[in-house]
Amino acid sequence: MTKPMNITEKILADHAGLNEVTAGQLITAKVDITLANDITGPVAVNEFNKIGAEKVFDKDRVVFVPDHFVPNRDIKSAQMVKQIREFAHAQNLTHFFEVGRMGIEHALLPDNGIVTAGDLVIGADSHTCTYGALGAFSTGMGSTDIACAMASGETWLKVPSAIKVEFNGKLNKYVTAKDLILFLIGDIGVDGALYKTLEIGGSAIRELPMDGRFTICNMAIEAGAKNGIIEPDEITKQYLENRSIRPPKFYTSDKDALYEKILTYNVEDIEPVVAFPHLPGNTKPISQAGNVKIDQAVIGSCTNGRLSDIKAAAEILKGRKVHKDVRLIVFPATQQIYLEALRAGYIETIIEAGGAVSTPTCGPCLGGHAGILAAGERAISTTNRNFVGRMGHTESEVYLASPYVAAASAVAGRIVSPSEL
């Protein structure tokens, strides 16, 4: 009889061909999907060639998404994309996403059914942990690890110990999944879950749509976690129905599974949250934000670029104007989301308010292009990181918040709660 296991341990055990695994154990496991982008992909391709590999282990399971510097920012970025494009063509990869059909990788893969429940996914991007929202084990790794997995279909890792987090109660008005994860990171710190599983649950999570669940798991890495994961339920199953390319496998934690600790929060005590520079854990409730003037507001990214996020922004901007001293940039996470937002009238609302709408790209989030900050400028952003120089000059500042707060702040010219408008 196997020992009680949590959902992460069960997924890892199955992929390692073992009856059970224990925290701290080193395992070799089969991967379902490997992922790289236009920054990390060229490095992975170089390493793939260095080890003498000729063919990827499975052309359907090696995915390249150029999304960081696309549409190409400059000659160097064009060369990087060209390298992975040529590799994808040479290997006859099923999933290479060109400009016009691409999107931000961590929204594109689940929406296209490429990742699914029960998967083991590794990506050369730290926010690969997003797919835990489906009940998958997904984590970021270095490009060399990805190269080896591209060739072998396997990877090695240490089984993480787990922290269980329960969010219970009913969300207050304008409080979103982004506020919950910022609140958690603020409470435990940016190293509070270092190389651990953050297993997120509770009554408030069970009522969250998939968009919000993706946001929470996306930012698990900002607490240092190896992976974030949410047990699949009917909402998960409805999202995956007629979407998953491969049959999903639904795992749940045993009732007597062991956790390093269990954290419980009442969401009715949580108001909109803002992370101040220069850490996602440097959080304050919106009521304590003070008078912080902003120069730019960014709504989008793999964290908050989904349809519900664009809708939230449009809801606040409807009938209002962006402050004359603020640049508002909105970038839907995929072409499909862009199209749906267009059809719903959200894009028109944003443009009429004075916002700029971009094709899907990671550009502003990492200070790559399409919204770089100058010295002394401040931005409020729905992205996931606000490190020194993250979105531009090292003397700029980034404040993290939800789409509601970002849109309201764009109108006010300073960080405010939507309820203040």
Does 1 have pLDDT greater than 70?
no
Is 7-264 CATH 3.30.499.10?
A: yes
Query: Across the chain, what does the average pLDDT equal?
Result: 96
Q: What would the mean pLDDT of 103-124 be, rounded to a whole number?
A: 96
Domain with CATH 3.30.499.10 in the chain: 7-264, 273-420
Banded model confidence at residue 364, pLDDT cuts 50, 70, 90? confident
pLDDT in tens, 370-401: 899 999 999 999 999 999 999 899 999 999 99
Q: What is the pLDDT at residue 333?
A: 96
What CATH number has the domain spanning 273-420? 3.30.499.10
Average pLDDT over residues 114-118: 97
Q: Helix/strand/coil (H, E, C) string of the chain?
A: CCCCCCHHHHHHHHHHCCCCCCCCCEEEEECCEEEEECCCHHHHHHHHHHCCCCCCCCCCCEEEECCCCCCCCCHHHHHHHHHHHHHHHHCCCCEECCCCCCECHHHHHHHCCCCCCCCEEEECCHHHHHHHHHCCEEEECCHHHHHHHHHHCEEEEECCEEEEEEEECCCCCCCCHHHHHHHHHHHHCCCCCCCEEEEEECHHHHCCCHHHHHHHHHHHHHHCCCEEECCCCHHHHHHHCCCCCCCCCCCCCCCCCCCCEEEEEEHHHCCCEEECCCCCCCEEEHHHCCCCECCEEEEEHHHHCCHHHHHHHHHHHCCCCCCCCCEEEEECCEHHHHHHHHHCCHHHHHHHHCCEECCCCCCCCCCCCCCCECCCCEEEECCCCCCCCCCECCCCEEEECCHHHHHHHHHHCECCCHHHC
Report the predicted TM-score, pTM, of the whole model to 2 decimal places: 0.95
